[in-house]
Chains A and B, each alone.
Chain A
């Protein structure tokens, strides 16, 4: 097994509404995306091949916000990053793993992520089991802001596992 860094993207001045990784090499078995990020909403939707139709995704979320645990199921999976309620200037981190991204089977997506608030509660720790229900190989990935945008200095690193 080998792990190859394909690209690291750093968001520049002014921020970005989304990050798209296009023409992903079809030479690997699995994909790994490591995120260090901040967005007002604290959530970034994960899309494959520009597919924004929620019905094509499924997910189960388990999260803990410092006082309670909860779970939910619906729509696109998301990466957890720091948000408006996080400690100032902190960046949350998330790991996204997508297995068998070139196969014709549905693509399994697992996510774990955290953001911080040093004052009150450690909002939020999140584990997600999800899938993109499509027979198409993943050639493109998008991480889409649900807030005002992904802030400057956020980074996204794409690795291919062969």
Chain B
């Protein structure tokens, strides 16, 4: 990427060969982009944290069931 991010705009109303424009982003567009990126990263982190917690809970449940005397096959049948 160059120092100032650019957007590629394809105007489909124009003939081929004349459609493409490469335009530097405005300050407002850059701010919007940064806000979107932060939100996306936050959402992704939340999803991954939730999944990690779910996996940890599952492993903990397996260990407790095994401690009760269930075989690996029986635990798998219960938890999938």
- Contact between A14 and B6 (Cβ–Cβ < 8 Å)? yes
- Contact between A21 and B32 (Cβ–Cβ < 8 Å)? no
Give complex CA distance A43, B41 in Å: 10
Using a CB–CB distance below 8 Å, which chain B residues touch chain A? 1-2, 5-13, 16, 19-20, 22, 25, 29, 32-33, 36-37, 39-41, 43-44, 47-48, 50-51, 54-55
How many A-B contacts at CB < 8 Å in the complex? Answer: 85
- Contact between A146 and B43 (Cβ–Cβ < 8 Å)? no
Shortest C-beta distance, A77 to chain B (Å), equals 12
Q: Given A9-B20, A52-B32, A146 and B37 touching (CB < 8 A)?
A: yes
Q: How many residues of A contact B (CB 8 A)?
A: 36
Query: In the complex, which residues of chain A have a beta carbon less than 8 angstroms from the beta carbon of B11?
Result: 22-23
Other-chain contact of B12, A17, A22, A70, A149 (Cβ < 8 Å): A22
Query: In the complex, which residues of chain A have a beta carbon less than 8 angstroms from the beta carbon of B54?
Result: 68
